[in-house]
Amino acid sequence: MLRVRVAIGLSLCLLGPTVAYAQQPGQGPPMPIAVDLAKVPPGSWAEYAMTMGQLPPMKMRMALVARTAAGSVIESSVDGGMMAMVGKMIVQMTLSSGAEGSVKKAVMQIGVNDPMELPAAMTGSKPFTKPNSKGLVGSETIKTAAGSFKTKHYRDKTPQGDKVEYWVNEGVPPFGLVKLEVDQKSNPQIKGKSKWEVTAIGSDAKPSITKAAKPFDQAALMKQMMGAGGAGAAKPAPPPAAAPAPKK
């Protein structure tokens, strides 16, 4: 059950990094969008080293994979760590135009299972927003595996009082996020500080979710998160070969 709870938290995390630390979806501070998505070229992406408390490290990728009449199509994915048993988790979101785009549609795919629509309740009422100038700490240069970035440092809190700090630079696509830290103590499922840090950026991203999404099915989703009952489920190791019979 721990893996299921973590996977649910990760799915919310893909919809907005601090949503996962709240007790209910949508209660955490929204994901900062420090750039105008309308000006971000399709194909732009950033990868992050990601840790959540004491869980094994994971890798996350965020990309603007298309722009349609409905809005900007963002794909976020997490693999490694706790996800190794079920495969990569991908959430594809269509965001409406505007500085604080709302989620018009969200689809999740786990491993090679069929993609599934996500209900509006899982996205939160407002999972994205522009950084609030009232939370500006100052300007700092942050060095990561992706390079050195001149950033604006912001500070915020969750409704539960957990401290959130993030650093943004408009040159890091698609959202401008360089680094994020959550010193959360209110969610017992994720113990300790969680952190994102950009490790690479690029411009050649393409959609990973290409099949039509099936309607939301909670029972099927739980099986996928447990690594059972799906095409992407981990297969048990074969039993050891029997020892050869002794020669007579």
Q: What is the pLDDT of residue 101?
A: 65
Q: pLDDT tier at 3 (50, 70, 90 boundaries)? A: very low
Residue 24 pLDDT level (bands cut at 50, 70, 90): very low
The CA-CA-CA angle for residues 187, 230, 78, to 5°, reads 45
At 146 the pLDDT is 97
CA–CA separation, 190 vs 56, rounded Å?
11
Residue 12 has pLDDT above 70, yes or no: no
Mean pLDDT, residues 31-35: 86
| pLDDT number for residue 99 | 53
111 has pLDDT over 80: yes
Highest mean pLDDT out of 91-100, 117-126, 129-138: 129-138
pLDDT band at 16 (very low <50, low <70, confident <90, very high): low
pLDDT over 90 at 26, yes or no: no
Buried-state track 102-125, b at ≥16 Cβ within 10 A, e below 16: bbbbbbbbbbebbbbebeeebbbe
Q: What is the pLDDT of residue 230?
A: 44
The mean-pLDDT minimum among 18-22, 95-99, 130-134 falls in 18-22
188 pLDDT more than 80: no
For residue 201, pLDDT beyond 90: yes
Q: Do strands 31-32 and 128-129 pair parallel, antiparallel, or not at all (unpaired)?
A: parallel
Q: Which two tokens stand for residue 102?
A: 């709302």
- The neighbour count for residue 4, using CB atoms within 10 Å, is 16
Q: How far is CA 165 from CA 131, 155, 182, in A?
A: 11, 4, 7
Q: Please spell the DSSP secondary structure of the chain, one letter per residue.
A: -HHHHHHHHHHHHHH-TTGGGSSSTT-SPPEE--S-GGGSPTT-EEEEEEEETTSPPEEEEEEEEEEETTEEEEEEEEESGGGGGT--EEEEEEEPSSTT--EEEEEEEETTSPPEE--GGGT-S--EEPPPGGGEEEEEEEEETTEEEEEEEEEEE-TT--EEEEEE-TTSTTT-EEEEEEE--S-TTS-S-EEEEEEEEES----S--SPPBPP-HHHHHHHHTT-SSTTPPPPPPPPPPPPPPP-
**Residue 138 CB neighbours (<10 A):** 8
pLDDT, the chain, mean:
79
